[in-house]
Structure 1
């Protein structure tokens, strides 16, 4: 049980596996006004940057669950680096079925709603670990503008236009599911640039070290094609944000 090796190569230098700058992650933590001891569950926690930095800055405690062995190891190392290993724990496992033993104050899935087969299913999964009156965090893509055709949608790594919604429609979906949006922090184009361009440098450096690897041809093709495709399509059409929700 692990992520594909190509994914960990692509994101080998990333602490945040989404188009979210560290400043935006910090801003989100500040906006939520979390008291010391706030209990947090982070499903698909990646390299643990959210839990570790919030434990350091705000005194939260919590658990992260992620399918990647490499990212889980990085998360534990990051916790030790920041001196918060006694506040946060990272579990290698399948987040799609994880429910906390103890109800938490904040339950999050940042950029991995595939674990619940979409927004509605992921909210329902997180809700099962949340105390009454607690906060859910959902990180999710949306269309900055309607893609004009199927080709544009696929160039944004969607199977079709219906994979994502426009931002107002995404917010309306949260309401239809019975939740108030009480905070949101939105990635900007610079956030996207930093996230995606770092992937290209990671791939290039890996290719230079591993020219004969079985993945080399595919990653070489990706590096040759993806920067222009990103600039033409994804940078213009695809947005991303983190939304804080409370049940009505």
Structure 2
């Protein structure tokens, strides 16, 4: 089973591919879209769940999503039609880090997709290329909430603690205007949904050639989460604007 298909199945019950519940998503978008008629770009949009929320919350807004996954973009199109916002949504199958936009955007999103750019600061560099003057970036990334084990670092990569993460962002000439730290409930709910949705699909399709692999991947992910990084992993969404001067 390829990574894109596995991700689509794993997010069946949690379309926002990050550990946030709908109330947190709505609150962040309300802070980012202050006028209600903003042009919004999501780099690494997946199923475009953030854009769908934004367009439903703000009838005057328009959205553009960029992702490499054709199945995820097709699901986004279907859900946009169902939600009645398809006319205000444009989707592009492309690499998020090389996407060329036709114009600047008032809000640029990239939540849980920093791996596509090589890290948090390269993600902000990419977002800045598309940002209109005075615009805002909403970025979501991991940080170490507690001291990680060597195994956790090996699995997930090198992150900083929350203070170090914010220091790196401000040193790069960005100013936080709001933020959300995923709660323990949000973090656990995301992982149970990820592993549970993939497991349920495998159990519901025992004769599918990918069933055993999907069940094994869900079990391995669940074990890694519970044993290796649950107590140290955190996730922060930062609403940022360019620092004046």
Report if TM-score (shorter chain) is over 0.5: yes
Residue number among 141, 147, 156 corresponding to 1:158 in the alignment: 156
* Offset of residue 85 of structure 1: 1.4
* Offset of residue 204 of structure 1: 1.9
Looking at structure 2, the residues matched to 197 and 151 of structure 1 have their Cα atoms a distance apart, in angstroms, of 21
Is the partner of 1:241 in helix, strand or coil? Answer: strand
* Offset of residue 88 of structure 1: 1.6
Unaligned segments of structure 1, at least 5 residues:
none
1:242 aligns with 2:233: no
Q: Tell me the TM-score normalised to structure 1 length.
A: 0.89
Looking at structure 1, the residues matched to 219 and 89 of structure 2 have their Cα atoms a distance apart, in angstroms, of 40
Is the 8 Å Cα contact of residues 202 and 212 (structure 2) preserved in structure 1? no
1:19-39 CA-to-partner distances (Å, cap 9, x unmatched) read 111111011112235212211
* Offset of residue 168 of structure 1: 0.7
- The aligned counterpart of 2:65 is 64
Structure 1 vs Structure 2 CA RMSD: 1.9
Is the 8 Å Cα contact of residues 33 and 107 (structure 2) preserved in structure 1? no
1:221 aligns with 2:216: yes
* Offset of residue 6 of structure 1: 2.3
- The aligned counterpart of 1:94 is 95
Is the 8 Å Cα contact of residues 181 and 245 (structure 1) preserved in structure 2? yes
* Offset of residue 212 of structure 1: 4.8
Is the partner of 1:86 in helix, strand or coil? Answer: helix
- The aligned counterpart of 1:23 is 23
* Offset of residue 180 of structure 1: 0.6
- The aligned counterpart of 2:143 is 142
Cα distance change on mapping 1:109 and 1:223 into 2, 3 Å: closer
Is the partner of 1:117 in helix, strand or coil? Answer: coil
Looking at structure 1, the residues matched to 30 and 23 of structure 2 have their Cα atoms a distance apart, in angstroms, of 10
- The aligned counterpart of 2:107 is 106
* Offset of residue 11 of structure 1: 2.2
Looking at structure 2, the residues matched to 39 and 96 of structure 1 have their Cα atoms a distance apart, in angstroms, of 19
* Offset of residue 12 of structure 1: 2.9
Cα distance change on mapping 1:104 and 1:224 into 2, 3 Å: closer
Unaligned segments of structure 2, at least 5 residues:
none
Is the partner of 2:186 in helix, strand or coil? Answer: helix
